[in-house]
Structure 1
């Protein structure tokens, strides 16, 4: 009876040891473990034995020694040897093997869980819109000059928007969140439709419908929760902020339209460059210009809009070789 209780206690200690190898510091399991540990001195002794045993065998040479020790169990099977010694050594050896098996088995499971089940590249050429239906039924729409990497895991779905803008129509899956990483932004949903626009200075997220979680990757700021019609912007090194932009504007590129809402010159040049080669260039002196432009244009009229830009902002267009430059208006060029 006592031997059986000792065996059960050792098994419990082994299970706790294995669980704690991967538990986070704030995991509720740690609180339960502390209650179990403080409940009895026998629990403390059993756990200490398992932990000490694991330290001895957590290396390749030590495991070889363990194998040698297991071969030597025959020595303890001789009738003249004390039965208690035989049971003790056999129990210790079996505990070591079990801890090793469970821990390394769990590590193998974690590696299996972390391995991608789908990897793909999604791109849209200049002047094109690319639509792709993903393995889970979600639909990805990339605007001209955009580039994304899709990686699905067993416990989550991830898309890294490296350049440009995209619309995500996400198939609902409560067990696998859909995560978009772009710039400093991390966007998490389970089933909704939203757009992400990666600009040089920030990432803009616009929600068509559903619930969207927006948080920064580079800071510990609290996340924002967006609903239908709401917009947020995540600067490169700051917390996300709500924006007064119209969410519908982010989806207009599918209709061949570009919408600017109080856009600065940097955003205008970057956006227009997605549709033309060579790209439109902005002189450094205008990077932080306070000038803003509100306009709606058709993508087929981009060159016409560029030629009319000096009527909307204090700039002029210089053509150098094959490139067009947006430069500030100086006193000498003013009429």
Structure 2
């Protein structure tokens, strides 16, 4: 075997590992590393070969080999790798202690929730996964006809496995999202919902809307008070799963609300009017010095109070 073929086998093995990881419960946390690896053309080619194996396996059987001998030779080792991927997927889901939903069972509801300052991930039996931000709650209801999620509060990232026969539908604050093998975020608030698409395609039906709106990657729809509007979002928005927030003239009030989802001291604004101040930059939400950095940037004063409260106020 030549050094080149050894390298090729290693690349396929790594691709199969990535395929398993991106369909496991920690997929959202690994996505940025995956995208960096996938940016190498040879890696992307190996990954697409693994996808081809699984797509074909879903339509028919791997026993139906192509007639062309060269294609058959290429598929034999890949088919073996695909079997390994299946094992990896099973291990990743079970080792995480994730609740697994039966694929062919009567519909039932499973409630999932995260603590105020924690993010939790679950793998689902169809190969999808969900990452729930701090203080979130959702309900999962799978049936033979539909995969339904109800996001009651908080924010979640969904990595959806394709299943044309069973739509993956998320309901949040009067908004309905239908996904087709995709990656997207949904946030449910008191007055509406936000849907941000990272990969694939989703159809979003807001309350009182005459027809669904289709999102493309890099777009967000904000449904609030019966109105909805689509706007572009920076790619780095996806990094909330790492505890990072990338902002461009974000109101301070929104930034503080994001920061208070993370573990650590709670930040409050002494005057609600301060919430309109604009902040730009990349911030780590769990940074214990975040309030001091914001104060220095915006020329505010920091007051530390008992109970871990940090108050930002105008300088006297």
Tell me which interval the TM-score lies in, with the shorter structure as reference length. Answer: 0.5 to 0.7
CA distance 1:275–1:200, change in 2 (3 Å) = farther
Q: Unaligned stretches of 5+ in structure 1? A: 1-114
* C-alpha distance after superposition, 1:281-300 (max 9, x if no partner): 3446338x432212212244
Contact 1:139 1:170 in 2 (8 A): yes
Match of 1:262 in 2: 249
> Is it true that 1:148 corresponds to 2:148 in the alignment?
no
Counterpart among 292, 296, 316 of residue 282 in structure 2: 296
CA distance 1:284–1:185, change in 2 (3 Å) = farther
User: Number of paired residues?
Assistant: 212
Match of 1:135 in 2: 125
Contact 2:155 2:188 in 1 (8 A): yes
Q: CA deviation at 1:238?
A: 3.0
Counterpart among 205, 222, 226 of residue 233 in structure 1: 222
Q: Which has the bigger relative contact order, CA under 8 A and spacing at least 6?
A: 2
Match of 1:64 in 2: none
Alignment of 1:159-198 (within 5 A): 159-198=149-188
Q: CA deviation at 1:128?
A: 3.4
**Counterpart secondary structure, 1:154:** coil
Q: CA deviation at 1:226?
A: 0.5
CA distance 1:159–1:132, change in 2 (3 Å) = same
Contact 1:182 1:198 in 2 (8 A): yes
CA distance 1:151–1:238, change in 2 (3 Å) = same
Contact 2:263 2:286 in 1 (8 A): no
Give distance in 1, aligned partners of 2:312 and 2:242.
Answer: 30
* C-alpha distance after superposition, 1:218-258 (max 9, x if no partner): x23443210122222222x1322112321441x21333422
Counterpart among 205, 216, 223 of residue 212 in structure 2: 223
**Counterpart secondary structure, 2:193:** strand
Give distance in 1, aligned partners of 2:108 and 2:299.
Answer: 49
> Is it true that 1:244 corresponds to 2:232 in the alignment?
yes
> Is it true that 1:124 corresponds to 2:90 in the alignment?
no
Contact 2:220 2:230 in 1 (8 A): yes
CA distance 1:324–1:282, change in 2 (3 Å) = same
Q: CA deviation at 1:202?
A: 4.6
* C-alpha distance after superposition, 1:19-48 (max 9, x if no partner): xxxxxxxxxxxxxxxxxxxxxxxxxxxxxx
CA distance 1:291–1:171, change in 2 (3 Å) = same
Q: CA deviation at 1:279?
A: 3.7
Match of 2:199 in 1: 209
Normalised by the length of structure 1, the TM-score is 0.56
CA distance 1:121–1:278, change in 2 (3 Å) = farther
Q: Which has the larger radius of gyration?
A: 1
Contact 1:141 1:167 in 2 (8 A): yes
Normalised by the length of structure 2, the TM-score is 0.59
Give distance in 2, aligned partners of 1:243 and 1:233.
Answer: 8
Match of 1:311 in 2: 296
